[in-house]
Structure 1
Amino acid sequence: MSTNHLSLALSSNHLKALQNECDALFNDLEEDVVEDLGCIVEPLHNLEHAARTMYDIYQRRRSLVTEVSKPAASIMSSSVAPYARLLLPPTQDLCLAGAQHIFNEQYIIKPPHAGPQSAFQWHQDSQFMSDESRLVPTIACWIALDDVSEHNGTLKVEPYFTVIPPSATAKQKPDDIRTYNYMHTEKAARYLAHSDPSPITINLRAGSILFMSGYVRHCSTPNRTGRFRRVYMPQFSAGPVKADDGQTLVALAVPLPS
């Protein structure tokens, strides 16, 4: 899997709950969302270890972020996580007690007429992680809270190239974590040798979800329209993602309930 998308995946109530929370977070900002925050607004900051690693504590803190956060807080685990589970490799290969984890959570807000500053350059989410951290697969769930197109700040995705599995066994078990990592790193390595990416422009209706491996190369266009462009993007991992010391958490490591 490199990318998949699911049209109109959220119910109208869930979509409205996320839109309301996004608006509340934006209205509470003291910083400039583009110049100071790079369009990224995280619901929670500076969490203690327990809130970063225990589901009940995280959810309790999450539901109190704004006055309208309670309806939005459970959507990630109830409506989005089940899809992510299907796209990540099994966690038993990591000896991790069999739970996928919440890795990160953010809104990406592009105000009206934000112009070039609201564009995101070509990148891979995994490029900001160390070699050790990349061993744990991650997936981003890019959820359009407004209809998105090239005009208001959608994604452009560079497609993967075909890679032959390392063995017949791997071909039969594409979800084995070693095969998963091999296939994604090998596919991503082909980007460097390809001079014409021929990207795919993602056009989605509000409530639709684009799922992306951490190795997928992508960028986003600026918002040149007179309306806000809002996206909610939780990320999930196949286990806790740790720094090279093997102890420090890179971000969240909240195990999803079974």
Structure 2
Amino acid sequence: MDPSAREANSVVSCWTALDNVNLSNGTLIIEPFPRLVDATTEKVLELPATEALDDPEYFLRYHRAISSRYLTELDPATAVEQARRNHVRSDCANPAPSKSKREGALTPDDLMTIIETCPIERQTPILVEIPAGSVVFLSGFVRHCSLGNSTSLFRRAFMPQYSAGKVETSEGGLVSLAVPCEE
């Protein structure tokens, strides 16, 4: 992720395949957020649901923190090999966390401390092969890329991006054709 984007508004891309997308013509690779690991038990931590994620400021703070924990960039060939070995396909999805209030639930600051200090492990990348007309929604905080096209044909996609506000570089300039939507 571009370091200057960490302070920007969140971006959501709507990656729409105009042609079938597969391994030969440039499939997407998505690397899920790193998993937090309990340092004493070495087990993956399941973060509890928190109503704080409903607050836009906290939502951005949370996603900036977790995305800052990505390990070094993964080589695309290694990502493909890992995804194939583990049979990770585009139809894999994590269920949305339940929103339940519980006594003794973590505060937003407690959750940030856990995210910022726990050891992490890399999750298996996901190869996203999709038919023409399908849409993949991508958060700007989630690491992703396209593979190269080894065919003699174009692989076309339409990708509008949306944000809650202006998207600026660290120097304050507008990114690309970033135009705010107003009521």
What TM-score comes out, normalization by structure 2 length? 0.58
Deviations 1:105-155 (A, max 9, x none): xxxxxxxxxxxxxxxxxxx3xx1x626x73311111111110101111011
What TM-score comes out, normalization by structure 1 length? 0.42
Structure 1 or 2: more helix by fraction: 1
Of 159, 181, 201, the residue aligned with 2:32 is 159
* Structure 1 counterpart of 2:174: 249
- Is 1:219 aligned to residue 93 of structure 2? no
Of 137, 154, 169, the residue aligned with 2:10 is 137
Of 156, 175, 181, the residue aligned with 2:60 is 181
By how many angstroms is 1:234 displaced? 1.2
Q: Percent identity?
A: 42
* Structure 1 counterpart of 2:70: 191
Contact 1:140 1:211 in 2 (8 A): yes
Contact 2:12 2:138 in 1 (8 A): yes
Of 196, 206, 214, the residue aligned with 2:132 is 206
- Is 1:236 aligned to residue 162 of structure 2? yes
Contact 1:239 1:253 in 2 (8 A): no
Q: How does 1:67-78 map to 2 (within 5 A)?
A: none
> Which residue identity lines up with residue 180 of structure 2 in the other structure?
P
- In 1: Cα distance, 2:11 partner to 2:64 partner: 13
> Which residue identity lines up with residue 160 of structure 1 in the other structure?
F
Deviations 1:22-79 (A, max 9, x none): xxxxxxxxxxxxxxxxxxxxxxxxxxxxxxxxxxxxxxxxxxxxxxxxxxxxxxxxxx
By how many angstroms is 1:195 displaced? 6.7
Q: Tell me the SS of whatever aligns to 2:138.
A: strand
Unaligned runs of 5+ in 2: 37-46, 72-118
Contact 1:144 1:208 in 2 (8 A): yes
- In 2: Cα distance, 1:225 partner to 1:217 partner: 25
Contact 1:135 1:181 in 2 (8 A): no
- In 2: Cα distance, 1:221 partner to 1:244 partner: 28
By how many angstroms is 1:241 displaced? 1.9
> Which residue identity lines up with residue 189 of structure 1 in the other structure?
S
Deviations 1:213-237 (A, max 9, x none): 1111112212122322111111111
* Structure 1 counterpart of 2:44: none
> Which residue identity lines up with residue 179 of structure 2 in the other structure?
V
- Is 1:149 aligned to residue 22 of structure 2? yes
Structure 1 residues 153 and 257: CA distance shift in structure 2, 3 A: same
Q: Tell me the SS of whatever aligns to 2:54.
A: coil
Contact 2:64 2:141 in 1 (8 A): yes
Contact 2:52 2:59 in 1 (8 A): no
Q: Tell me the SS of whatever aligns to 1:174.
A: helix
Q: Tell me the SS of whatever aligns to 2:160.
A: strand
In the comparison of the two structures, how many residue pairs are matched? 126
Unaligned runs of 5+ in 1: 1-123
